[in-house]
Amino acid sequence: MSAEIQTFLLAMTPIGELRVSLPMALAVYHIDWKIAFFLSVIGNLIPSALILAFLPFLSKHLSKKCKVCQKFLSWLFERIRKKHNAKMEKYGALALATFVAIPLPLTGAWTGALIAFLFNIPFLKAFPLIALGVAMAGIIVLGLTSASMSIERYFGWQILLGIILVSSIIWIFLKNFNPSPFFPKEKR
């Protein structure tokens, strides 16, 4: 199977999406970045379009055929809507594009399509937002991959690993750092 087809199929996977296919295409298969970006974005968008198009029909069909499925799906959808409806109302549908654009596992086009389905965002509104998010994620991943490959090429993998480890330690420290003992809140 050609490297281009592997890249395209890898972009269609639910966990990896283009967050895996783009670095693989560039670092392992040595595909030109423009072709790799195009294949990864298109491969990532196909499953989301299918989810947006067919999940409503599948959900209705399962609800009609199986009472247990109907009860479970109603409970699950209502629970998710209650929990996250305020955020969707506050940030609007553009939050969908931002959510999809974050290049972390479980924040891609597959999850974005499920969110659009759960919050009844119509296909013609959801798909362009998901496509925008996928394109933004692709640009972020392309930049990080290119930077990582350049650092590795010029300074070696040890320096790249050191940068990743130091960045991770700083992130963990900042995430868990509580400035309140140093900066007490002002009384009003």
The Cα 103–Cα 138 span in angstroms is 8
Q: Does 135 map to a domain?
A: yes
When pLDDT is averaged across residues 94-120 and rounded to a whole number, the result is 89
Is 104 domain-assigned? yes
Share of the chain above pLDDT 90, in %: 43
Please indicate, yes or no, if residue 181 is contained in any of the structural domains. Answer: no
Establish if 134 belongs to a structural domain.
Answer: yes
Judge whether residue 44 has pLDDT over 90: yes
Domain count, the chain: 1
37 occurs within a structural domain: yes
Q: Model confidence over 121-169: pLDDT tens digits?
A: 899 999 999 999 999 999 999 999 998 898 888 888 888 788 888 888 8
Determine, yes or no, domain membership for 52: yes
Q: What is the pTM for the complete model shown?
A: 0.80
d(CA 17, CA 103): 10
Residue 184 lies in a domain: no
Range of the domain at 69: 3-176
